[in-house]
């Protein structure tokens, strides 16, 4: 528990919040001459509204700088001409920002998004792309296995069965939503965040192996919020509406992302396919739409304490582009980081979860006939 608390305290958002708290609380402490807090701070700041204003502007700038976390500054020097990146969840948030940044650097970018958002997403990315002809998109709903199959078939028909893939970025996700199930009967968060990407990656595996591609899976520090292994039993508890808990289900799906990455590495790294998993940080996106506190109480502070979408996309970009990454590892703020859930490092459980995922996805597909 102590290690987990220290882990959370080390996050940029937590550091930013603590900095903001200390910067505010120091004023009344100084006013009342509290021990270790010089009284002259309050005397100086209250002498002029200008000084007080400068103080708060400075505090906000410092907090914002801390909250942004690690940045992939070397990306600006990259020329990605001739490289191809596939991005799921590209209609908004860090997925869209990832696609925008890659297209600016000359990469061919293939966008996977829900049908209702796809055309607008393609248009937005083309506007900033170095070459608009290198931007394409295909409709995919990660909560629907049929949609995934149809979308990948359209992609292969249009781009070619042997089209090279530099990296597949499995970015799409939902967070802490009310209980619901996908069209195939999966719990919504596990179905979208894991099973959908598992199936999509399986469909692309021949191309990924031939291209010696990277696979980047977006997980979250939230994998530590439920300290249990990801198994068929723990998943069954979240599939049951009576025992469903939004945050536990989200945490479990993020542990599943980590298991998936570890098994991808174990099974395919000898064939040249490298796999990475990451925590993007606390990012101000639509992902928090189901979290009431973030919409009401926390909303005024989000701009200060959360990363912007560009800042949140940095570790996505780092894992997809940088040469300074190690396959099978977990990254946060553009550097390798230890996992916060000890169960997430269990290779045997990762293997069992892969086998369970294969089995249950195959069973769902058989039901189409």
- The 10 Å Cβ neighbour count of residue 154 is 14
Calculate the alpha carbon distances from 80 to 27, 85, 95, 320 in Å: 50, 10, 18, 11
Asked if residue 11 lies in contact with residue 221, where contact means CB atoms within 8 angstroms, the answer is yes
Strand order in the sheet with 135-139: 135-139, 108-113, 84-88, 167-170, 214-218, 274-279, 330-332, 335-336
Question: What is the phi/psi pair of residue 161, to 5°?
Answer: -60, -30
d(CA 244, CA 275): 30
Is 179 in the active site?
Answer: no
Active-site hit among 72, 235, 250, 259: 250
DSSP reduced 3-state for 169: strand
Spatial separation of the C-alpha atoms in residues 113 and 163, rounded to whole Å: 20
Q: Where are the beta strands (DSSP E) in 156-282?
A: 167-170, 214-218, 274-279
Other beta carbons within 10 Å of 292: 11
**Positions marked active-site:** 250
């Amino acid at each position: 528990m102590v290690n987990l608390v220290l882990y959370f305290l080390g996050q940029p958002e937590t550091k930013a919040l603590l900095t903001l708290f200390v910067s505010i609380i120091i004023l009344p402490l100084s006013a009342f001459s509290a021990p270790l807090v010089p009284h002259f701070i309050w005397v100086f700041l209250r002498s002029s509204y200008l000084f007080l204003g400068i103080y708060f502007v400075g505090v906000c700038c410092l907090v914002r700088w801390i909250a942004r976390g690690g940045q992939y500054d070397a990306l600006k020097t990259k020329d990605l001409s001739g490289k191809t990146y596939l991005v799921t969840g590209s209609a908004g948030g860090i997925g869209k920002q990832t696609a925008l940044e890659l297209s600016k650097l000359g990469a061919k970018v293939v966008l996977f998004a829900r049908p209702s958002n796809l055309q607008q997403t393609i248009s937005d990315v083309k506007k900033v792309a170095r070459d608009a002809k290198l931007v394409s998109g295909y409709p995919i709903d990660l909560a629907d296995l049929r949609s995934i199959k149809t979308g990948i078939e359209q992609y292969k028909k249009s781009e070619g069965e042997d089209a090279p893939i530099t990296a597949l970025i499995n970015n799409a996700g939902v967070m802490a939503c009310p209980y619901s199930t996908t069209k195939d009967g999966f719990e919504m968060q596990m179905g979208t965040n894991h099973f959908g990407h598992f199936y999509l990656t399986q469909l692309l595996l021949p191309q990924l192996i031939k291209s010696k591609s990277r696979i980047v899976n977006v997980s979250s520090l939230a994998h530590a919020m439920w300290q249990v292994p990801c198994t068929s039993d723990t998943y069954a508890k979240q599939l049951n509406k009576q025992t469903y808990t939004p945050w536990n289900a989200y945490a479990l799906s993020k542990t599943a992302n980590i298991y998936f990455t570890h098994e991808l590495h174990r099974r395919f790294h000898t064939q040249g396919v490298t796999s990475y998993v990451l925590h993007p940080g606390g990012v101000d996106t639509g992902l928090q739409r189901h979290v009431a506190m973030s919409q009401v109480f926390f909303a005024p502070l989000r701009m200060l304490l959360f990363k912007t979408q560009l800042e949140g996309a940095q570790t996505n970009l780092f894992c997809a582009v940088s040469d300074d990454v190690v396959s099978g590892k977990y990254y946060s703020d553009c550097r390798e980081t230890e996992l916060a859930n000890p169960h997430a490092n269990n290779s045997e459980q990762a293997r069992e979860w892969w086998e369970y995922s294969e089995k249950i996805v195959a069973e769902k597909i058989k039901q189409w006939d």
